């Protein structure tokens, strides 16, 4: 893991990880925000995404280290 790993996950990242299209990934991030009680201007962290999806955070973080 690099020293400057990202904490925030974006729809483009979700699309690449899940194989879904951008719009579906954006919708998934909205569901995650609702699940965690976040407001529209809040962001979704990698840990929140992994917890919601049941994915190992190390796998997602290593995905960013391209």
Residues 6 or more apart whose CB falls under 8 angstroms from that of 63 comprise 13, 16, 17
Q: How confident is the model at residue 51 (pLDDT cuts 50, 70, 90)?
A: very high
Q: Is a pLDDT exceeding 60 seen at residue 1?
A: no
Domain ranges (residues) in the chain? 11-64
What is the pLDDT, as a whole number, of residue 66?
A: 58
pTM of the model: 0.85
């Amino acid at each position: 893991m690099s020293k400057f790993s990202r904490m925030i996950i974006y729809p483009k990242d979700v699309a690449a990880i899940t194989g879904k299209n951008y719009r579906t990934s954006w919708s998934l991030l909205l569901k995650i925000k609702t699940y965690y009680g976040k407001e529209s201007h809040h962001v979704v962290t990698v840990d929140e995404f992994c917890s919601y999806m049941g994915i190992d955070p190390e796998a997602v973080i290593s995905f960013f280290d391209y």
